[in-house]
Amino acid sequence: MNKVWCVLVVAGGVAALLGDGGAGAAAQLLQSGQGAVELMLVLAGSMVLWSGVMEILNRTGDVERLGRLLARVLSPLFGGLKDGECWSAMGMNIAANVLGLGNAATPAGIRAAQLLEKQGEAGLRALAMLLVMNNSGLQLLPTTVMTLRSAAGAANPADVWLPGLLASGAATVCGLVLMGLINRGGLRRG
Amino acid sequence: MGEGLVLAVVVLIVLRGMTKGVDVYGAFIQGGKRGMDAAGSLLPALCAMTMLLAVVNASGLSRVLTSLLAPLMRLMNLPEEVAPILLLRPLSGSGSMAALQEIFVQCGVDSRAGRIASVLVSASETIFYTMTVYLGATNIRKLPWVLPVSLASYMVGAAVCGAVIH
């Protein structure tokens, strides 16, 4: 991100200076801080609200239960793993991600990565699968985007829910199938 | 359907907390505090991104990038306006939020571009960041295939977006 950001700021800045002496870009640049604060206020409300609601769910123990269930259901995808602790961390990571609990998902994912690292080849294959699942962005209730849409005056802020589920569902299936095929062929050959 | 769902989820979670003997109000306050901290620490990254978008948009650089991506966008039946989102989403969560806000202002929140951009942001992940965080906690320097498979899946998701949103 560092490189991308630097290149784009310099390229954009130079192009603007050469174009109209930078007047338009300068005006927008000066307002961008205010824009960031306004955006943060919208996001902050949403984050406080949903972190609060999700903490209730977290304390019921249902997230762990869902994690254990997912670990059992998904076990064919992560074949050849014996360590039970890996399973609970992976299940928790996937469950928290799908429910949109970023606070719980990241520590569980990191713990899973560290445990899987010690499991040799099977562990690396499972970690690759876990990362692909994480990266496909499947989320049952996209609260942040709904909030941004609501703040922007959308007629129905939640109308993106079903298309979103279809898109991320397709991405998830695609990722699992591709990674499954690659894993079967042997990760190291890649 | 989606609106009813939001309300139903909240009611169900509160009910579930009550039946499980959770200090529901206390949990909400404690979770909310964490959300507030996370939101506060988001501001510098958001500002870096609104600044970047200001410079890139005003200079015309975004038009150049958009026209470079145009053939790919047409192939996936996506409007040109969402090209910045498609590029930024795997790199930066703050960046895609800022770009999404920009599209709401430029094209309208209920326009096709506005809805597609919303789905692109909500139904995907900050791929490069996730990889850095998870692999950074281990001694594994590189895990082959994860990045190409993740990016290919992301493109499939984007194509589904273009197909299902009219």
Q: Alpha-carbon distance A126 to B135, whole Å?
A: 13
As a whole number, mean pLDDT of residues A110-129 equals: 91
B23 and B55 inside one domain = no
pLDDT, chain A, mean: 88
B14 and B36 inside one domain = yes
Q: Alpha-carbon distance A164 to A62, whole Å?
A: 24
CB B77 within 8 A of CB B113: no
Amino acid (1-letter code) at residue B131: M
CB B109 within 8 A of CB B100: no
- pLDDT band per the 50, 70, 90 thresholds, residue A186: low
B105 and B34 inside one domain = no
As a whole number, mean pLDDT of residues A127-151 equals: 93
Per-residue confidence (pLDDT) for residue B6, from 0 to 100? 86
- pLDDT band per the 50, 70, 90 thresholds, residue B102: very high
Percent of chain A at pLDDT above 70?
97
The CA dihedral of A143, A37, B112, A27, to the nearest 10 degrees, is -170
Q: What letters, b where the CB count within 10 A reaches 16 and e where it falls short, cover B84-105?
A: bbbbbbbbbbbbbbbbbbbbbe
B24 and B79 inside one domain = no
B27 and B50 inside one domain = no
Phi, psi of A132 (to 5 degrees): -60, -40
As a whole number, mean pLDDT of residues A150-168 equals: 93
Q: Which of A5, A56, A124 sits opposite B27 (nearest CB)?
A: A56
B60 and B110 inside one domain = yes
B36 and B54 inside one domain = no
B104 and B65 inside one domain = yes
pLDDT in tens, A161-170: 999 999 999 9
Residues of B with CB below 8 A from A135's CB?
Answer: 125, 127, 130-131, 146, 150, 153-154
Per-residue confidence (pLDDT) for residue A136, from 0 to 100? 94
For residue A83, what is the enclosing H or E element? none
Q: Nearest CA to CA, how far is A72 from chain B (Å)?
A: 23
Per-residue confidence (pLDDT) for residue A94, from 0 to 100? 93
Residue of chain A nearest B30, judged by CA positions: A52
Residue of chain A nearest B11, judged by CA positions: A53
B78 and B156 inside one domain = yes
- Restricting to B residues 28-47, those with a Cβ less than 8 Å away from any Cβ of A are 28-32, 34-36, 38-40, 42-43, 46-47
B68 and B140 inside one domain = yes
Per-residue confidence (pLDDT) for residue A37, from 0 to 100? 93
Chain-chain contact of A142 with B123 (C-beta, under 8 angstroms): yes
Percent of chain A at pLDDT above 90?
51
pLDDT in tens, B75-96: 999 999 999 999 999 999 899 9
Chain-chain contact of A160 with B2 (C-beta, under 8 angstroms): yes
CB B123 within 8 A of CB B161: yes
As a whole number, mean pLDDT of residues A122-130 equals: 92
Q: What is the ipTM for the molecules in this complex? A: 0.89
Residues of A with CB below 8 A from B6's CB?
Answer: 141, 143, 146, 158
**Domain tally, chain B:** 2
- pLDDT band per the 50, 70, 90 thresholds, residue B1: low
Residue B80 backbone class (left: φ over 0; alpha: ψ -120 to 50; beta: rest): alpha
pLDDT in tens, A29-77: 898 999 999 999 988 998 899 999 999 999 999 988 998 898 888 888 8
Q: Alpha-carbon distance B73 to B78, whole Å?
A: 5
**Structural domain that includes position B30:** 2-40
Asked which of A76-80, B33-37, B130-134, B147-151 is least confident by mean pLDDT, the reply is A76-80
Chain-chain contact of B36 with A148 (C-beta, under 8 angstroms): no
Chain-chain contact of A43 with B48 (C-beta, under 8 angstroms): no
- pLDDT band per the 50, 70, 90 thresholds, residue A189: very low
B62 and B108 inside one domain = yes
Q: Which of A60, A145, A158 sits opposite B5 (nearest CB)?
A: A158
pLDDT of A1 strictly over 80? no
B31 and B69 inside one domain = no
